[in-house]
């Protein structure tokens, strides 16, 4: 009994010290490597939203554009914008101008008055710092969605599977050979051992299905992840926190890294404790 209490207290002490070290590294020193994801807790409605202010905002004629990822993912899978339309999955990598949008490029693919409201409704997008009554609020739209503890406070995978939303997978219904325009689903889990330090969290279970319900294979392979096993040897939580590998999405739009056990979800197989296992001592043979 005392041994269990001792080990529990030791584990809590280690976790406490670890938290202090992370705070010191991330917040106190403002490490530039960590800053992309650890910028403080955001509200459910603002999590994942992007402010576009290259040609707008302070000192400009128009207010900055606010792009709410949460609303768009109720209407489309990630593939539609990041593969079909061609938005890179990197902030600031697209030089969007209104002339392009009016020509039907980028946002103009949908915001033409047919698929979505027209680009002439300026305040719907140029909404930084103001409330636009015509824009939907996350608490109203997602009130019946399965809940999560972090990010938008929505379990988007379960929301999709429960049929609460039916996002389009393509702007071209005939994209696939069967004319369905649906996603290609790859149902395969991969176990990623986490054994570089001790104590460590459970191993990671990477679900391809949950990702291919939203993304195409080309979103991750080969630029983000090598398609051969064990070919990403430098992948670590430090790299992920810095916005690489899984951190390209998680911590920005997909659920944040604070939701540890969404990924570290493999059931632990603890080795038998030497303090609880009986020790069998065989009796010596008696020679007659």
Q: Specify the pLDDT at position 37.
A: 42
What number of other Cβ atoms are within 10 A of residue 65's Cβ?
21
For the range 14-23, what are the long-range contacts, defined as Cβ-Cβ under 8 Å and sequence gap of 24 or more?
A: 14/199
- Domain count of the fold of the chain: 1
Q: What is the pLDDT of residues 110-151, one digit of tens each?
A: 999 999 999 999 999 999 999 999 999 999 999 999 999 999
User: Are the beta carbons of 138 and 31 closer than 8 angstroms?
Assistant: no
Containing domain of residue 2, as a range? 1-30
Q: Is residue 73 part of a domain?
A: no
According to DSSP, the β-strands at 189-192 and 50-52 are unpaired
If we measure between CA atoms, which residue out of 8, 15, 37 comes closest to residue 201? 15
Q: Is residue 8 part of a domain?
A: yes
Q: Specify the pLDDT at position 194.
A: 84
Q: Is residue 232 part of a domain?
A: no
Q: Is residue 6 part of a domain?
A: yes
What number of other Cβ atoms are within 10 A of residue 171's Cβ?
15
Residues in the chain where the model's pLDDT stays below 50: 23-38, 177, 275-276
Q: Is residue 13 part of a domain?
A: yes
Q: Specify the pLDDT at position 234.
A: 86
What DSSP character marks residue 207? E
Q: Is residue 281 part of a domain?
A: no
Q: Is residue 10 part of a domain?
A: yes
Tokens of 116: 């979505």
Is pTM beyond 0.85? Reply is no
Q: Is residue 170 part of a domain?
A: no
Q: Specify the pLDDT at position 201.
A: 86
Q: Specify the pLDDT at position 12.
A: 60
Cα separations in angstroms, 230 against 182, 196, 227, 233: 31, 14, 9, 6
Q: Specify the pLDDT at position 221.
A: 94
């Amino acid at each position: 009994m005392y041994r269990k209490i001792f080990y529990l207290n030791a584990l809590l002490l280690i976790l406490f010290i670890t938290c202090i070290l992370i705070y010191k590294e991330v917040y106190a020193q403002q490490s530039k490597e960590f800053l992309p994801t650890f910028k403080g807790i955001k509200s459910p409605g603002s999590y994942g939203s992007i402010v576009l202010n290259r040609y707008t905002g302070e000192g400009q004629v128009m207010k900055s554009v606010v792009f709410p990822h949460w609303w768009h993912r109720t209407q489309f899978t990630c593939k539609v914008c990041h593969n079909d339309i061609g938005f890179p999955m990197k902030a600031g990598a697209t030089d969007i101008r209104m002339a392009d949008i009016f020509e039907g490029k980028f946002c103009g693919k949908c915001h033409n008055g047919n698929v979505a409201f027209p680009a002439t409704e300026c305040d719907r997008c140029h909404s930084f710092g103001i409330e636009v009554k015509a824009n939907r609020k996350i608490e109203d739209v997602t009130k019946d969605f399965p809940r999560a503890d972090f990010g938008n406070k929505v379990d988007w995978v379960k929301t999709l599977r429960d049929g609460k939303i039916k996002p389009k997978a393509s702007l071209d219904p005939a994209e696939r050979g069967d004319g369905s325009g649906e996603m290609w689903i790859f149902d395969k889990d991969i176990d990623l051992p986490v054994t570089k330090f001790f104590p460590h969290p459970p191993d990671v279970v990477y679900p391809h299905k949950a990702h291919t319900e939203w993304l195409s294979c080309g979103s991750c392979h080969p630029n983000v992840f090598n398609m051969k096993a064990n070919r990403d040897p430098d992948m670590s939580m430090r790299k992920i926190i810095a916005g690489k590998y899984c951190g390209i999405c998680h911590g920005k739009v997909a659920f944040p890294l604070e939701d540890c056990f969404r990924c570290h979800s493999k059931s632990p197989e603890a080795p038998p404790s030497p303090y609880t296992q009986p020790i069998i001592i065989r009796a010596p043979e008696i020679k007659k």
